[in-house]
Chain A
Amino acid sequence: MNAGDVLETRTFTVTRADLVAYADASGDHNPIHQDEDVARSVGLPGVIAHGMYTLALVGRAVAEWTGGAEVVDLGAKFTSPVVVPAEGGAEVVVGGTVKSVADGLVTLALEVTCEGQKVLGMPKAVVREATVRA
């Protein structure tokens, strides 16, 4: 990987069933990720994906781009909710470029959107260069 490389954009569909599976696997059973009425009662537009679900999709894209390289840093602000409809799903689009390769680390610049709107603020992923298989 070299600075400036554009990585193949990944599109992931998130369904309500995915959120149920994620709640079970992660232990986060916050009802705002399952129940429309509870979500609306706290001012959300509807059932939203766990922020960590969206961040996990970033981790997935990074793993696919780098052949499962060792992740050193991963994080983001959850600036806009991913609203998941009861039917069908929400499409989360993860775009990336290689921002820098220095000191044995590859830093990726990311853009993560849903319905054309950015859902993550200052997303960051750094992997160890020696472990990249791409």
Chain B
Amino acid sequence: MPVDPSLVGRAFPAPAPLSVTPERVSAFAAAVGHPAGPGEPGDVVPPTFPIVLAFDAMQAFLDAERIDLHRIVHGEQRFAYARPLAVGDELSATLTVTGLRQIGGADIIATASEITDATGAVVCTGKATLVHSAGSEAGA
């Protein structure tokens, strides 16, 4: 099933804020081998960490549209940071569908995410494309 074109312009918030705790940060940094800083473990927040929240917002979008996650491949991701992420941040995210086109049976879904802190200030913005392969239902 192709993705509904009326989606463009709709916004999907992540269901809950994310607390940037030393535990979360050190688990993420360990998984990708990001170098630690001179301070306590979990002090250095890897730049791709906001994907945790952007992913929550994307999942809210997929759930709302009943799109299977396993039919999604990440096509592009860019982040622009207004300030460094810090332990103690309480982050919220909203994903907006900014474009939709079809190429060879796949939907190319363009999205923009805004990630804000507890004061409402923008910490970073993300732009992503998600490639949805409708595929044959028999295949899965």
Contacts and interface: CB of A to CB of B under 8 A. Distances in A.
A121 B76 CA distance: 9
Contacts, number: 122
A79 to B, nearest CB: 9
A29 B46 CA distance: 20
Interface residues of B, number: 39
Interface in B27-52: 27-28, 30-35, 37, 44, 46-48, 51-52
A64 B75 contact: no
A71 B47 contact: yes
A26 B28 contact: yes
Interface range, A side: 35 or more
B77 A75 contact: yes
A42 B71 contact: yes
Q: Is the interface of B mostly helix, strand, loop or mixed?
A: mixed
B51 A52 contact: yes
Contacts of A70: 81, 84
Interface in A48-100: 50-53, 55-57, 59-60, 62-64, 68, 70-78, 81
Contact of A50 (B47, B74, B84, B135): B74
B72 A30 contact: yes
A124 to B, nearest CB: 7
Interface stretch (A1-9, A16-24, A107-115): A16-24
Interface in B114-140: 127, 129, 133, 135, 139-140
Contacts of B27: 21, 24-25
A70 B74 CA distance: 25
A60 B33 contact: yes
9 contacts: A22-B32, A26-B55, A30-B69, A41-B140, A59-B34, A60-B35, A63-B35, A73-B78, A124-B78
